[in-house]
Amino acid sequence: MSPNDLMDKVVSLAKRRGLIFQSSEIYGGLASCWDYGAYGVLLKNAVKAAWWRSVVQERDDMVGQDAAILMRPEAWVASGHVATFSDPLVDCRTCKARFRADKLEDVQCPEKPSKCPGQHNACDLTEARSFNLMFKTFMGPVEESAATVYLRPETAQGIFVNAKNHMNTTRRRPPFGVAQIGKAFRNEITPGNFTFRTREFEQMEIEYFCPPDQSDAHWDAWVEARYQWYLNLGLKADRLRRRAQGSDELAHYAKATVDIEYLFPFGWSELEGIAHRGDYDLRQHAEHSGQDMSFFDDATREHWVPHVVEPSAGADRATLAFLVDAYDEETDEKGETRVVLRFHPRLAPIKVAILPLSKKTELAEPASRIAAAMRTRWTVETDTTGSIGKRYRRQDEIGTPFCVTIDFESLTDHAVTVRERDSMQQVRVGIDQLESWLAERLEPPTRQLGASWIFPAAVGGQA
């Protein structure tokens, strides 16, 4: 399958199976805006939950927050976004299309080949103009400049302005970090590649505050931790890489940045950037707000401004990468093709499908009782329509790891058939064992909690 075919297939599956729809489709669609459907929202929520679990719940040096999208406009002056968050914009005088002057080689002329040469560096282009990417709006009923506010272009600034609040309310001291998931908005000149580059998107950001002399070590550790996160959730290692940004690519606030990139069908592209922001942001906010953003170190009796390491990921980009990576097609000996999304169980939108072999009440009732029990723990879908083969295929297409079939034998042997998505193997499992059987496979324990792990020295065990 060619990369273009793969992307087309993923986009069409996403629409057909309720993962992702075009925004305002009945009105002709709104360019570069997408709505997550029934399975899409479960997938994206699972990606965000896995991120939160890894960077907040499983660490003792992290807390979370959820800041407002709208902030005082001064915050965006201090951050440098009002002055510098812009892309160079050029127009083609022939076809009137607009492009980023620094990305001309990436774009195709819509008029090609009839009017334009098709390669925009050879087109009749205007001079580059600087175009600020922030969306502006007005707060309150008066449309005047005093009431101008911006839709945040990154969630990060909501963390910087609260840095002191976190230190005061959680007794945290550097090194510690704050995590946040939320919407961000950028008036991108050239959005595209499905949900990869959009004007409204969700970020998963961390600002990690550290002593200046430890910041390089924390930066390295975060690059490694974030790279491993994508691998642990199943992205193929040969499609994932770390790449240090060149000095000409760095954002205005960054001393250095490593990008984690995924080999999408349209080429290697950024999933996440891990930036070393130095003390840029806290110093800027101190200067513009007049507030002291330094930290008093009891040990050294000195004031210093923490340095910041920022792992900044896109929830939509990560979701797209997991979707593309999971897509697979298999053709059997009869020539029939099975489309399967091989999601990591933690990410699968539906974990368990309950499939009573017949709609008859003898099977419908136990099936609905089993579904109700499983639903207290996992996302479950019951499907009663069509042949069992068709129902398996439908679940494969949305990546459900386990299908549970209740048949007439279940009434006497009190067991069900569990079919696994990837191997298609089937096993008979007693109904009273079903929850623990599934739990073992859907939520494998990361550690065996036992005395030898908790007190390794005392009991002579291994950690």
Assess 324 for contact with ligand GAP (CB under 6 A): no
Q: Which two three-digit tokens encode residue 441?
A: 């496979």
Comparing CB distances to ligand GAP, the nearer of 98 and 112 is: 98
Helix (H) or strand (E) run with residue 4 in it? helix 3-16
- With tokens 């968050």, the residue in question is 85
Q: Which of 87, 272, 325, 381 lies at the binding interface for ligand GAP (CB under 6 A)?
A: 272
Task: Please enumerate in sequence order all residues whose Cβ is within 8 A of that of 381, keeping only pairs 6 or more positions apart, or say none.
Answer: 350, 352, 353, 354, 395, 400
Where does this chain touch ligand GAP (CB under 6 A) — which range of 4-12, 46-54, 305-313, 448-456?
Answer: 305-313
Comparing CB distances to ligand GAP, the nearer of 198 and 284 is: 198
The CA-based angle 47-53-59, given to 5 degrees, is: 145
Report how many residues bind ligand GAP under the rule CB under 6 A.
19
Comparing CB distances to ligand GAP, the nearer of 175 and 311 is: 311
Q: Which of 281, 316, 325, 396 lies at the binding interface for ligand GAP (CB under 6 A)?
A: 316
Comparing CB distances to ligand GAP, the nearer of 241 and 369 is: 241
Q: Which of 87, 270, 383, 396 lies at the binding interface for ligand GAP (CB under 6 A)?
A: 270
Comparing CB distances to ligand GAP, the nearer of 179 and 357 is: 179
Shortest Å, Cβ 251 to ligand GAP: 7
- With tokens 């005047």, the residue in question is 144
Comparing CB distances to ligand GAP, the nearer of 198 and 417 is: 198
Shortest Å, Cβ 204 to ligand GAP: 8
257-to-87, 154, 251, 277, 389 alpha-carbon distances in Å: 19, 16, 9, 9, 49
Shortest Å, Cβ 237 to ligand GAP: 20
Shortest Å, Cβ 133 to ligand GAP: 9
Q: How far is residue 78's CA from residue 269's CA, in Å, rounded to a whole number?
A: 29
Task: Please enumerate in sequence order all residues whose Cβ is within 8 A of that of 51, keeping only pairs 6 or more positions apart, or say none.
Answer: 181, 204, 229, 313, 315, 318
Q: How far is residue 134's CA from residue 152's CA, in Å, rounded to a whole number?
A: 7
279 contacts 212 by C-beta, under 8 angstroms:
yes
Q: How far is residue 219's CA from residue 178's CA, in Å, rounded to a whole number?
A: 15
Comparing CB distances to ligand GAP, the nearer of 154 and 383 is: 154
Parallel/antiparallel/unpaired status of strands 302-304 and 295-297 = antiparallel
Shortest Å, Cβ 315 to ligand GAP: 8
Q: Which of 180, 284, 312, 319 lies at the binding interface for ligand GAP (CB under 6 A)?
A: 312
Where does this chain touch ligand GAP (CB under 6 A) — which range of 7-15, 41-49, 284-292, 313-321?
Answer: 313-321
Of all residues in the shown chain, the one whose CB is closest to ligand GAP is 314
Shortest Å, Cβ 203 to ligand GAP: 5
Task: Please enumerate in sequence order all residues whose Cβ is within 8 A of that of 75, keeping only pairs 6 or more positions apart, or say none.
Answer: 157, 161, 285, 288
Site residues for ligand GAP, 186-215, by CB under 6 A, read: 186, 188, 197-198, 201, 203, 205
For residues 81-100, one letter each, b for 16 or more C-beta atoms within 10 angstroms of the residue's C-beta and e for the rest, the string is bbeebebebbbbeebebebb
Q: Which of 92, 151, 156, 258 lies at the binding interface for ligand GAP (CB under 6 A)?
A: 156
Comparing CB distances to ligand GAP, the nearer of 154 and 381 is: 154
Comparing CB distances to ligand GAP, the nearer of 219 and 392 is: 219
DSSP 97-109: -EEEGGGGGG---
Comparing CB distances to ligand GAP, the nearer of 245 and 294 is: 245
Comparing CB distances to ligand GAP, the nearer of 182 and 273 is: 273
- CB atoms under 10 Å from CB of 369, counted, come to 13
Q: Which of 75, 76, 154, 309 lies at the binding interface for ligand GAP (CB under 6 A)?
A: 154
For residues 210-225, one letter each, b for 16 or more C-beta atoms within 10 angstroms of the residue's C-beta and e for the rest, the string is bbeeebeebbeebbee
Assess 182 for contact with ligand GAP (CB under 6 A): no
Comparing CB distances to ligand GAP, the nearer of 316 and 396 is: 316
**Plot region of 406 (φ>0 → left; ψ -120 to 50 → alpha; else → beta):** beta
Assess 313 for contact with ligand GAP (CB under 6 A): yes
Shortest Å, Cβ 197 to ligand GAP: 4
**H helices within 22-142, ranges in order?**
38-52, 73-78, 81-84
3-state secondary structure of 188: coil
CA dihedral 166, 171, 172, 173 (to 10 degrees): 110
Q: Which of 67, 75, 107, 271 lies at the binding interface for ligand GAP (CB under 6 A)?
A: 271
Q: How far is residue 115's CA from residue 133's CA, in Å, rounded to a whole number?
A: 29
Where does this chain touch ligand GAP (CB under 6 A) — which range of 72-80, 85-93, 267-275, 393-401?
Answer: 267-275
Shortest Å, Cβ 46 to ligand GAP: 17
| Residues near ligand GAP, by CB under 6 A | 154, 156, 186, 188, 197-198, 201, 203, 205, 270-273, 310, 312-314, 316-317
